[in-house]
C-alpha cells in the first residue's frame, strides 16, 4: 500500500508540474499576442496618420493644379479670342468669296494654321498657311507670320505673289534675329492673288501646292520645297500664272488631314487619298463638299487623337 501511495503521489506531482508548464506557456503566448496586437495597433495608427497626411497633401496639390489649369485654360481661351480676331470668321468670308468654304480645325484650343482673305480694289488675296508647331507656340508663330505677310503686302503691292513671300521671309527672319538662340521657325504657305477683271490667278507656294479643277480634271502646281523663314538655302520663290475659267475650283490645304492617323489600320490619310476625294466631289455644291470633307475626317480619325491643325479651303472664283 505504501508503495502504491508513493506512485500516486509521484503521478500527481508530475501532473501538477505538467499543468504548470501549460499555464506558463499559455501566459507567455498571451503576452506575445498582446505585444503583437499592440504593435499592430500602433502600426495601423501610424499608417492611418501617414495616409491622412498624404491625402491632405495630395488634396492641396490637386487644388493647386486645378487652379493653375483653370488659369492656363482661361489664358488660352483669351488667346483664342485674339486669334479669332486676326483670322477672319468663315461666315464673313462669304461677303468676299460667296462660293467658298474654309475648314479650320486646330488640334488644341488654338493652333498654328491660319488663312487670309482680303479684297483690295480689283484684287483678291487668298492664303492658307501652316506655321511651325501647334497649340500656344504655333499660335504665337502664326501671329508673327501673319503680321509679316500683311506688312509685305503693304510694301510690295499685289503685282507679284513670289515677291510678297520673299519680303515676308525677310520680315520673319528679322523678327527672330533678336533672340540669343538660333530660331528657324516660320511657315509653309500657299498664296494666291486673283485679278477679278482678267480672271488671272497669280500663285506662289512654300511647301503648300495649289490644286485646281478644270473641265473635271484635278491639276496641281507644286510649291517650292522651302519654308518662309530661316532656312539652310534661301532661294527665290517661283511665280505661277493660271488663267481661270468659269466653274474652276481652287483647293488649298495644310498637311493636317493627310497626316491624320486612322482608318481600319490606323495609318495616315495621305495626300493621294485627299486628291482622290477632291476629284470625286468636285462637281458637288460647295456646302456639300465641306460636309464630305468634315465627315471623311471624322470617320477616318475615329477614336484616335487629332495629330495636327487642319486648314482646308475650297473656292470657286468665276
Q: Are residues 166 and 141 located together in one domain of the fold? A: yes
Given a cut of 70, is residue 222 above it in pLDDT?
A: yes
Residue 6 has a pLDDT of: 54
The domain spanning residue 114 has which CATH number? 3.60.40.10
User: Who wins on pLDDT, 174 or 31?
Assistant: 174
Q: Are residues 115 and 34 located together in one domain of the fold? A: no
User: Who wins on pLDDT, 36 or 164?
Assistant: 164
Given 86, 104, 135, the domain boundary residue is 86
| Confidence band, pLDDT 50/70/90 cuts, at residue 68 | low
Among 178-187, 217-226, 248-257, 266-275, name the one with the lowest average pLDDT.
Answer: 178-187
Given a cut of 60, is residue 5 above it in pLDDT?
A: no
Residue 28 has a pLDDT of: 63
Mean pLDDT of all residues in 177-186: 76
Residue 61 has a pLDDT of: 73
Q: What is the pTM of this model?
A: 0.78
Given a cut of 80, is residue 83 above it in pLDDT?
A: no
Cα–Cα dist 129/205, whole Å: 10
Residue 286 has a pLDDT of: 95
| Confidence band, pLDDT 50/70/90 cuts, at residue 44 | confident
Q: Are residues 227 and 257 located together in one domain of the fold? A: yes
Q: At 120, which helix (H) or strand (E)?
A: strand 113-120
| Confidence band, pLDDT 50/70/90 cuts, at residue 138 | confident
Q: Are residues 171 and 28 located together in one domain of the fold? A: no
| Confidence band, pLDDT 50/70/90 cuts, at residue 50 | confident
Q: Which domain, by its residues, includes 283?
A: 89-316
Residue 69 has a pLDDT of: 66
- pLDDT of 268-317, one tens digit each? 999 999 999 999 998 899 999 999 999 999 999 999 999 999 999 999 99
Q: Are residues 169 and 55 located together in one domain of the fold? A: no
Among 40-49, 209-218, 228-237, name the one with the lowest average pLDDT.
Answer: 40-49
| Residue 197 DSSP one-character state | T
Q: Are residues 136 and 214 located together in one domain of the fold? A: yes
Q: Are residues 112 and 131 located together in one domain of the fold? A: yes
Q: Are residues 32 and 81 located together in one domain of the fold? A: yes
| Confidence band, pLDDT 50/70/90 cuts, at residue 205 | very high
| Residue whose cell numbers read 520680315 | 171
Given 25, 57, 86, the domain boundary residue is 86
Given 33, 64, 86, the domain boundary residue is 86
Among 60-74, 102-116, 277-291, name the one with the lowest average pLDDT.
Answer: 60-74
| Most confident segment among 85-99, 136-150, 244-258 | 244-258
Q: Are residues 75 and 50 located together in one domain of the fold? A: yes
Q: Are residues 152 and 66 located together in one domain of the fold? A: no
Instruction: Tell me phi and psi for residue 138, to 5 degrees.
Output: -65, -40
How many distinct structural domains can be found in the chain?
2
Q: Are residues 123 and 79 located together in one domain of the fold? A: no
Q: Are residues 241 and 95 located together in one domain of the fold? A: yes
Q: Output the average pLDDT for the chain.
A: 87
Amino acid at each position: 500500500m505504501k508503495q502504491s501511495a508513493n506512485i500516486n503521489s509521484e503521478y500527481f506531482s508530475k501532473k501538477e508540474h505538467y499543468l504548470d508548464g501549460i499555464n506558463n506557456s499559455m501566459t507567455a503566448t498571451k503576452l506575445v499576442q498582446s505585444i503583437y496586437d499592440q504593435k499592430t495597433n500602433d502600426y495601423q495608427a501610424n499608417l492611418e496618420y501617414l495616409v491622412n497626411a498624404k491625402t491632405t497633401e495630395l488634396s492641396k496639390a490637386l487644388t493647386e493644379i486645378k487652379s493653375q489649369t483653370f488659369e492656363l485654360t482661361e489664358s488660352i481661351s483669351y488667346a483664342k479670342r485674339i486669334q479669332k480676331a486676326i483670322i477672319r470668321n468663315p461666315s464673313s468670308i462669304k461677303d468676299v468669296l460667296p462660293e467658298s468654304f474654309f475648314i479650320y480645325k486646330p488640334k488644341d484650343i488654338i493652333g498654328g494654321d491660319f488663312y487670309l482673305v482680303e479684297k483690295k480694289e480689283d484684287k483678291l488675296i487668298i492664303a492658307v498657311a501652316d506655321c511651325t508647331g501647334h497649340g500656344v507656340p504655333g499660335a504665337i508663330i502664326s501671329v508673327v507670320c501673319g503680321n509679316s505677310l500683311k506688312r509685305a503686302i503693304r510694301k510690295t503691292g499685289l503685282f507679284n505673289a513670289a515677291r510678297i513671300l520673299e519680303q515676308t521671309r525677310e520680315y520673319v527672319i528679322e523678327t527672330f534675329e533678336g533672340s540669343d538662340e538660333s530660331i528657324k521657325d516660320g511657315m509653309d504657305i500657299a498664296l494666291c492673288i486673283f485679278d477679278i477683271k482678267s480672271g488671272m490667278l497669280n500663285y506662289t507656294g512654300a511647301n503648300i501646292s495649289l490644286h485646281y479643277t478644270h473641265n473635271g480634271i484635278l491639276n496641281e502646281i507644286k510649291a517650292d520645297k522651302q519654308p518662309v523663314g530661316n532656312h539652310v538655302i534661301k532661294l527665290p520663290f517661283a511665280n505661277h500664272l493660271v488663267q481661270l475659267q468659269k466653274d474652276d475650283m481652287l483647293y488649298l490645304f495644310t498637311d493636317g488631314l493627310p497626316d491624320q492617323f486612322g482608318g481600319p489600320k490606323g495609318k495616315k490619310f495621305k495626300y493621294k487619298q485627299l486628291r482622290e476625294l477632291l476629284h470625286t466631289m468636285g462637281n458637288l455644291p460647295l456646302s456639300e463638299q465641306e460636309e464630305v470633307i468634315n465627315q471623311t475626317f471624322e470617320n477616318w480619325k475615329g477614336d484616335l487623337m487629332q495629330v495636327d491643325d487642319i486648314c482646308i479651303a475650297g473656292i470657286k472664283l468665276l
